[in-house]
Structure 1
């Protein structure tokens, strides 16, 4: 088994220059629909990472290599790049620093209803579970196992660069737009080129 390669990073400045060119790249934002609704780069298409993984073969039929993947920090976009490469579309670029870097630079951004990003939600849930496990163990001996389990999960998430809790949270109702339809997202990509 070969080690995963590091996706080709594109700085905010490089992306802005490419977006202003005669042939701008397509932007594929892999954050949750709620995160996308809160803030996104104008012209980007939202296909959440879990949806992208489920429909990657279909998506590759509507994409070429002139695509830049976007998420909050670059981590999920990197995972999306690897998933699409496995489906036969290698070499896609990832926005270095993600939307955090994009917004920090003052680049044009479409804003909607502000929501907590996925990493903040994970920190809240993980921290709450650790706190419940630690404090609850004074009342119910053995509950500290919950804290150990969450700590182990966080360590695994860091080592594997995946996050099961983030995937579960992305499926919660507050992280989904009621109107989000994977087939519609694929159709939007098909019309885009």
Structure 2
């Protein structure tokens, strides 16, 4: 079984051309800015992409990237379970850009907030709604409690159910042709 390798932006910058870079964020996040030459394969599409990723790994090294390194570490673990070696970028595209490294943006790309910001907006809105409704309907406060509990579970487990739900919204989904074209490019 393969083990995850965590690389820092400076290490990757020196050898970027030696990697097939896979950005596991949502298409909207990817369009807003990604490492040069990166391919977008959202985290939830990994099972579908596994044959293409195996083919790409057989030809060279894979580097998985997300905004902070959390989703790419999850993706590395899933690929390792399928015996596909991959590395992750420590700090993700955020650390990459903060160090002044180049970031490509999709022409006409949709301006979509990063998933973490989408989660904060949704969670905060639901908590406020639960508290506001709770002044009239006391049981509505359970909504705030449920969201708070979900956030605690997310922090402890390293997973986020709300991000999974938000990732299914239309602005976060790849167009079918985009993912198919990416997988075709990776397979060959």
On whether the aligned pair clears a TM of 0.5, the verdict is: yes
Q: Does 1:33 align with 2:27?
A: yes
Distance in 2, matches of 1:51 and 1:28, equals 12
Q: Deviations over 1:126-168 (max 9, x none)?
A: 0100111112100111111001111111111111111111111
Once the two structures are superposed, the pairs formed by residues 55-74 of structure 1 within 5 Å of their partners are 55-57=49-51, 59-64=53-58, 66-74=61-69
| Larger helix share, 1 or 2 | 2
Q: Indicate the residue corresponding to 1:93 in structure 2.
A: 87
With normalisation by structure 1, the TM-score equals: 0.87
Q: 173-182 vs 157-166, which deviates more?
A: 173-182
Report deviation, 1:57: 4.9
Alignment RMSD, CA only? Answer: 1.9
Distance in 2, matches of 1:27 and 1:152, equals 35
Distance in 2, matches of 1:149 and 1:60, equals 40
Return 5+ residue gaps in structure 2 as ranges: none
Return 5+ residue gaps in structure 1 as ranges: none
Q: Indicate the residue corresponding to 2:72 in structure 1.
A: 77
Q: Deviations over 1:75-94 (max 9, x none)?
A: 0001100111111214x210
Distance in 2, matches of 1:133 and 1:60, equals 46
Q: 101-110 vs 69-78, which deviates more?
A: 101-110
Distance in 1, matches of 2:66 and 2:177, equals 17
SS at 1:26's partner residue?
strand
With normalisation by structure 2, the TM-score equals: 0.89
Structure 1 pair 146–54 and aligned structure 2 pair: CA distance change class (3 A): farther
Aligned length: 183
Q: Indicate the residue corresponding to 2:134 in structure 1.
A: 137
